[in-house]
Amino acid sequence: MIGVVVPAHNEEACLPACLDALLRAARHPALKGEDVRIVVVLDDCHDGSAEIVMARPVTGLRIAARNVGVARAHGAAHLLAAGARWLAFTDADSVADERWLADQLSLACDAVCGCVTVDDWSAHPAAVRLRYLAHYQHRDDHRHVHGANLGVSARAYTVAGGFSGLALGEDVALVEALLAQGVEVKWSALPRVVTSARKVGRAAGGFADFVAGLADGDGRADAVA
């Protein structure tokens, strides 16, 4: 079984597109009918996120941590207990390609770090997009880590100790733990995810704040995560 984890905090505006895309990816013929279970971790949601989840064939788990690392870990633990052999992670403001899961698995490794494409720069000055594209490496052997486009085998995830309860940088910490354990990580542009460049994110210091910092020329290439 393949498991997908989506942490969400008040994401009613983005969740429909995110989940509908994941359901398409789960039905891709390259998966040969393997069971795919999608888990949305509703972290202290007070909007209509839960209703959106209930209207689709996905599982909703409620927590009140307001912590993305805890949310990802909670979803992963649920799926591992159900027998998942592969864990894929994305974000509620992101839309995975229909081949996303198939492409992760096709790389035949224990962990995949994928790239992201920003869907809409209209909320930002033109200079922000140019500064972002000037350093972003959308190619194989990049070194970006995105919680919105990450996959790992159940074995490797367990060996590395899983996600820690970090409110920021939980994805980077997991990849560092994987590398420390000698896990083969592929840095690939093949699995595709489109993500948001919204001005107000859900985690302080996260991708939205990084993009906002580019408006002042403060963003750094190594801050993309």
pLDDT of residue 222: 39
Q: Backbone phi, then psi, for 132, in 5-degree steps?
A: -65, -50
Q: Which residue has the higher pLDDT, 124 or 31?
A: 31
- pTM score of the predicted model: 0.89
pLDDT of residue 223: 40
The CA distance from 2 to 30, in Å, is 13
Tokens 């994941």 belong to: 22
Answer whether 42's CB lies under 8 Å from 53's CB.
yes
Average pLDDT over residues 35-56: 98
Q: Which residues pair with 39 in a beta bridge?
A: 5, 59
Q: Is the pLDDT of residue 219 over 60?
A: no
pLDDT of residue 128: 77
